[in-house]
Amino acid sequence: MSRTGNQLARLESEEVARGVRLLLARPLLTAVYDHDGFDLVRRRREPIVKWFDYYCGWRVLVEPRAGYARLFKTTQRPDRTRPLFDRRRYMLLCLVCAELLTTPTTTVDALTTRTRQAAAAEGLPSFDLDRRSDRTALADVLTFLEEHGALESDEVQVRADPMLITRLLAAPNPPSAVDGIADLTHESRYESAHRSLWQRHSVMRRLIDDPVVYKEELTAGQLAFLASPAGRKVVQTGVGLAGCTLEERAEGFLVVDADAIATDMRFPDDDSSAKVAALLLLDRLAPGPARFEDLVEEARELLAKFRNWAKAYQSDGGAGRLAADGLALLEAFGLARTDNGTVRRLPAAARYAVEEQHG
């Protein structure tokens, strides 16, 4: 291959890798939100679609004229540690989307009225804009739809994109046709497929989607796949094509994106008090397991020592909230686990512990 050919091939591989990671971070990628990112995915859509299909069994839909790309991620292990909304907002999101599918162009007042009527008709908790909590919840839902390109609004009128609204749900089965979450995420394609297909897809989904994967959490079949030369080659190739590297330790695996493109949340990071507290709590857990009350006391001492820091927590009950928020981050990133009120540090935490960074 000529030098020019090598350069073009390298450019394509780099762009495909970036496109894969962009979709991992934002499964519904719109030109309005990220014009350059969407344009890259549009241009490299064929190899990007093939990567997700082969390595993860996930479908990617790219609509150049409509200006969006949608990665339909499916999992049998829904992540309950970082919900997008609380139960109230999820309910409002469903009601608002249903109304917008019926009437895409309307006014804020009319949408509010119909949403309130729909909640009453379905026997759901009442929705009333006279309540501040309901006004805030509705504003959060409308902001979410706007950020995903499914809604445009001004002070009076809202205009929805019905197609994008229908793309928000990534489940392989429609909710109206199933009885529960397990049926919603069931993938019939694996019922008649060779088990190696499911092993490849399930392993890659875990590695790509989870901050850390511990061997104790994998099935015997998944471990056998990773231990086999063929399986290991598939994983290393797939991770490499995505522009990442695979780290293996005795306890498990970690996929590292040095450019931090493939994640919607970074850790460690000092952009919030909870993340700073999480790092300090890791140091507190280094000698051994602790009770949650011990972490609250650690947070209380931090707040007392740095009175101009974490002002949102400098109030009654602030230490408990700070400890809870920090611990929630550690658990979400696979760095700590709580069992019967006892918190223990997990092996991956060694990468971030404060004492080890300064040792």
Q: Which residues of 318-338 are buried (b: 16+ CB within 10 A; e: fewer)?
A: bbbbbbbbbbbbbbbbbbbeb
- pTM attached to this predicted model: 0.84
Domain spanning 87-166 has what CATH number? 1.10.10.10
Terminal-residue alpha carbon distance, the chain: 49
Residues in the chain: 359
Please tell me the predicted confidence (pLDDT) of residue 175: 78
Give Dmax over CA atoms of the chain in angstroms: 69
Question: Per-10-residue mean pLDDT for the chain, 359 residues long?
Answer: 80 96 95 94 98 97 95 78 83 95 94 94 90 93 92 89 91 80 82 89 94 93 95 96 94 92 77 88 92 95 91 92 93 91 91 50
Q: What are the extents of the domains in the chain?
A: 87-166, 194-256, 273-357
Please tell me the predicted confidence (pLDDT) of residue 1: 60
Please tell me the predicted confidence (pLDDT) of residue 50: 98
Spatial separation of the C-alpha atoms in residues 102 and 189, rounded to whole Å = 33
Looking at domain 273-357, its CATH class is mainly alpha
Please tell me the predicted confidence (pLDDT) of residue 355: 45
Residue 286 near residue 309 (C-beta atoms within 8 A)? no
DSSP conformation letters of 168-236: S---SS-GGG-SSHHHHT--GGGTSS-HHHHHHHHHHHHHHHSS-EEGGGS-HHHHHHHHSHHHHHHHH
Please tell me the predicted confidence (pLDDT) of residue 356: 43
